Amino acid sequence: MMFEGDIFVSYGQMMIENPAAWNVDYDADHSFAGQVNGLCGAGMPERLWMFTGLHTGWVRLTVERHDTPPAVDPQWEEVVEASFTPTGSPLQLMGLMANEAYPLPLSTGVSLRVRYCATAMDAASAGSRAQDDPVLDRYLIQLWPAPPTSDTVLRQTSRAAAYWHDHARTLPTQDEFAAQKAEHQASADAQARAETAERERRRLVEENLRWGGRVPAREVLEIAESLQLAQFDRALLDAVVAASPQQQRDVARFAVRHAYTAAGLTGISWIDAALDALDQAAPLPAPFDEPAAMWRALAEDPLVPSTMILSPDGQTGWSQQHMTLPALLHAAEPDPLRAAIASLMHAATAVGNDSRQLLIDAARRVVAGTAR
């Protein structure tokens, strides 16, 4: 005896299964495809599927393991047999959507003959049963080793069993079922590929729009400030990218000087020293060599003016001096392209909306002038 007692079923279904296979073809029809019996579906190695008369509630079940085929007991009104070779371990017995599962010590990979017997299916189909209520329908599962062979109906009595047998015989064969599944999967894969391609097409369209019609080279994309500069003026970005390293350094220095002058940050000794170092391609002096000290100097120096401007998205109350100061740090970056793009973007932001175009036009002339 492997199990004897009550088991809870939903929708009149219970199963012996590999619990790891919950996501594998959880479909009763697949289990019964190609069979003549509709009570015990053995077409899937991950799951032996059985129907009961009771729709929802507790049914009485016995599971037996035999070495040889047992005699068919005449007390059973419904008797069917099918071949089943389970996979996965450990196997368990449970009702559909039940909270409890009962382990069954069955060897996987061993071909079994399964006899499924039932009684009082019609009587049970008209009611329900709590665990303490009298038993309505009873079931027996008998298993023994045997080579695979066709399933069969040994005894049929109830209308419920006749319904499920008739349903099973309308199903396609396992090969037809597999072909349908492959066709559906191929259709789903094609749909997924089409959706992926459409998402990529839309992404590229949106990306092109963000960049003014053309996405730049990867080296430009990797500079965080490139997109903002392109949205200020794409032609200026392209001119900077096409310029020589020396031209890029020149436009970076120009942008810093222009923005610092507009923000009233020239004529202050520690700032002028840093601007001179930038012109000479020398390391930036203190406090620009340490960001925290740089911001502290800006806040504490009484000579630093305080001017409020609009941010690029129209927000008020932004300190022009705080927005301007980082441009110098970016202009000193080792990569001349990164230095030019980043310092130009920060300078164009810091001069404010009203003066931005003047800076952009002047920067374009600087690039063109140094190219000659």
In a shared domain, residues 130 and 236:
no
Those residues of the chain that have pLDDT short of 70 are 21-26, 370-372
Q: What is the CATH number of the domain that holds 11?
A: 2.60.34.30
In a shared domain, residues 273 and 321:
yes
* Cα–Cα separations (whole angstroms), residue 199 to 154, 214, 221, 232: 56, 18, 20, 27
DSSP code of residue 170: T
In a shared domain, residues 11 and 158:
yes
In a shared domain, residues 205 and 223:
no
Rounded-to-integer distance, Cα 319 and Cα 73, Å = 93
In a shared domain, residues 226 and 111:
no
pLDDT at 372: 40
pLDDT at 90: 79
Is-contact 298 322, C-beta < 8 A? yes
In a shared domain, residues 229 and 360:
yes
In a shared domain, residues 101 and 226:
no
In a shared domain, residues 167 and 33:
yes
In a shared domain, residues 166 and 190:
no
In a shared domain, residues 116 and 224:
no
Rounded-to-integer distance, Cα 76 and Cα 74, Å = 5
The count of domains in the chain is 3
Rounded-to-integer distance, Cα 207 and Cα 201, Å = 10
In a shared domain, residues 165 and 186:
no
* Residue 238: its H or E element: helix 234-242
pLDDT at 371: 40
User: What is the residue range of 78's domain?
Assistant: 3-171
Q: Rounded to two decimals, what is the model's pTM?
A: 0.56
In a shared domain, residues 178 and 83:
no
pLDDT at 159: 97
